[in-house]
Amino acid sequence: MRALLPYLALYRRHRGQLAFGVLLTISTLLASIGLMMLSSWFLASAATVGTASLYNFNYMLPAAGVRSAAIIRTVGRWAERVVSHDATFRILQHLRLYIFTRILPLAPGTTADLRKGELLNRLVADVDTLDHLYLRVISPLLGALLVTLTVGVGLYLLNPRASLILSTIMLVVLTLFPPLFYLAGKPIGEVLTALRTDYRLQLTTWLSGNAELTLYGAAERYRCQLTAIEKCWQTQQRRQSSLGAGAQCLLLMITGLTSTGILWLIADNIEGDGSAGPLVALFVFSTLALFEALNPVAGTFQHLGQVIACTVRLNNLVQQTPVVFFPEAGPSPAASVSLSVRRLRFCYPHQIVAAINDLTITVTAGEHIVLLGHTGSGKSTFLQLLTRAWDPNNGEILLNDVPLHKWSESALRVMTAVVGQRVYIFSATLRDNLRLAAKNADDEQLHFVIRQVGLDKLLKGDGLNAWYGEGGRALSGGEQRRIGIARALLRDAPLWLLDEPTEGLDAVTAQKILHLLSTLGQGRTVVIVTHRLQGLERLDRICILDRGTLIEQGSHQTLMALRGHYYYYHHPIELY
């Protein structure tokens, strides 16, 4: 239960609305019970007086009370649904923000062992499960408790003995049912939470890799694994439904026994003239109405095990310590950036071989360099260290002679424009996808930068209003890459970090992009990671990495004359 405490604290932000929702729940239950009690008394009284006292019996006042209770119950139930669900949605909104703001600093270091589907499942499905806490636990339990006490006080004025017995039975049920069915439903809830996660991850894998699975004849095997998880999931759901049905049956049996007992107890007061008949009806029907208010409580706490299992999973994630910490304050963003890397060493967690090993390199402000090397030589890792996705194990990185870890995150992001290996296109318009880099850019600037990167055809038709990403038109890998470069061009940053900016582009377009970067990057510090050799002669310096270490550097002409690694990249046949 302690796992719920951090999330219950968030409920205080909406305590007024939540309290109002509980008040409406209580009002609705009281109106419903009052309607049942008044109707039973009215009908019994009318039957008792018969036609003899037809003109002496006050029919109008009880009828008005019945109608008023019915209206209050209907309006109260509607208002309670509106208020409670609105409060729940607002709480879920803040819960997602709470979880996301704590997951974000963990990436990629702490979350490297988790698959993307697992993170998404915790952020969406596990948080959604927490809505049971208010709608199915807190509100029904408080409503039933306060209604029981309120009605018990009212009935005490009519018959103290019967009222005390009825109230005691109700409070015993309210005390025993929650822990009993929580303990019974906890194992089922934990298994359901785990199976739901496994099923979604397996389904995501099957859908995303369906083409490869079909081509290699493995689709049926994966589908069988999915079916097996689904069957286990359905089995646990049946167990939970059976537990809920058992709770309802037990409550129904207690209701019948209590109603019979109350009827027997009140029947002692019936006199020969039957004057106590309406009172008997009132107590019996009030008993039925009170136990009807307990119906939500009977099945509530079997879901609490699933809620707690989800909170434990979330806590296991958000309570981890980030591997990278940014200071709240630091130097102001600079208009130009120089880099100095000294004896840098970095090894990924659970790895033996260092990705960066004793790397020393200096880049002056406004210099354009390219990092070359075979796959796994540490080029992309070096860019991740520059953006502080990771911190090095040894050595230091200086920006304008200030250690990188002393820069605030906001200043570092303002000074840096990054084009990664995978450019993500959001399900949004072309305009929105470009304005990620410059939110105040007008349409004229966006048209200009789109033409600069050679995507003029995207301006036809709907132009900037065209929808792209998962919900719209798909883009090729080369088009995605150029949109990433367009974002970098829009961002007025003194440091550009580009990882394979010409990957997926034809030779002519790649030459144009490199020329564009070289021209528009004047005055900016540019670090490019690439495998392609075309167009590198226009860059200031070429750095060759091998096993995370700088082994060669110089201009194109200097390295070609040196006849070292760079030379043999251009003439690999001479190695043999």
Q: Which DSSP string corresponds to 186-248?
A: HHHHHHHHHHHHHHHHHHHHHHHTHHHHHHTT-HHHHHHHHHHHHHHHHHHHHHHHHHHHHHH
Of the listed ranges 154-163, 227-236, 546-555, the least confidently predicted one is 154-163
The CATH T-level fold of domain 339-575 is Rossmann fold (3.40.50)
Domain spans of the chain? 2-318, 339-575
Confidence of residue 115 (pLDDT cuts 50, 70, 90): low
Confidence of residue 382 (pLDDT cuts 50, 70, 90): very high
Structure token digits, residue 383: 């860019």
- How much is the pLDDT for 342? 92
Q: Mean pLDDT, to the nearest integer, of 297-304?
A: 71
- How much is the pLDDT for 110? 64
Confidence of residue 397 (pLDDT cuts 50, 70, 90): very high
Residue % of the chain over a pLDDT of 90: 13
Question: Which residues lie below 8 Å from residue 134, measured CB to CB, with a gap of 6+?
Answer: 11, 18, 21, 84, 87, 88, 91
Q: What is the pLDDT of residues 305-333, one digit of tens each?
A: 778 878 888 887 777 777 888 888 888 88
Whole-angstrom CA distances from 74 to 29, 34, 135, 265, 490 are 11, 13, 19, 33, 57
Tokens 């966006």 sit on residue: 446
- How much is the pLDDT for 543? 92
Q: What is the pLDDT of residues 192-217, one digit of tens each?
A: 888 888 888 888 888 888 888 888 88
- Cβ-based burial of 155 (10 A; exposed 0-12, middle 13-18, buried ≥19): buried
CB 106 within 8 A of CB 314: no
Distance, CA of 445 to CA of 442 (rounded, Å): 6
Tokens 């030379």 sit on residue: 567
Kindly report the CA angle at 298 between 293 and 300, in degrees rounded to 5? 100
Q: pTM higher than 0.95, yes or no?
A: no
Distance, CA of 548 to CA of 571 (rounded, Å): 23
Q: Is the pLDDT at 157 greater than 90, yes or no?
A: no
Confidence of residue 576 (pLDDT cuts 50, 70, 90): very low
Distance, CA of 134 to CA of 17 (rounded, Å): 12
CATH 1.20.1560.10 fits 2-318, yes or no: yes
Q: Is the pLDDT at 569 greater than 50, yes or no?
A: yes
Closest-CA residue to 33 (of 259, 280, 283): 283
Kindly report the CA angle at 504 between 120 and 508, in degrees rounded to 5? 150
Residue % of the chain over a pLDDT of 70: 92
Confidence of residue 49 (pLDDT cuts 50, 70, 90): low
Q: What is the pLDDT of residues 261-280, one digit of tens each?
A: 888 887 765 554 455 667 78
When the pLDDT of each residue in the chain is averaged and rounded to a whole number, the result is 83
CB 346 within 8 A of CB 162: no
Q: What is the residue type of 534?
A: Q
Closest-CA residue to 84 (of 123, 47, 133): 133
Q: What is the residue type of 230?
A: E
Question: Which residues lie below 8 Å from residue 466, measured CB to CB, with a gap of 6+?
Answer: 429, 430, 458, 472, 473
- Cβ-based burial of 170 (10 A; exposed 0-12, middle 13-18, buried ≥19): buried
Query: Residue 274: how many CB atoms within 10 A of its CB?
Result: 12
Q: What is the residue type of 344?
A: L
Distance, CA of 318 to CA of 309 (rounded, Å): 14
Distance, CA of 53 to CA of 205 (rounded, Å): 78
Tokens 């009605």 sit on residue: 151
Dihedral sign computed on CA atoms, order 402, 405, 411, 412: positive
Q: What is the pLDDT of residues 450-489, one digit of tens each?
A: 988 888 888 888 888 888 887 677 788 778 888 888 898 8
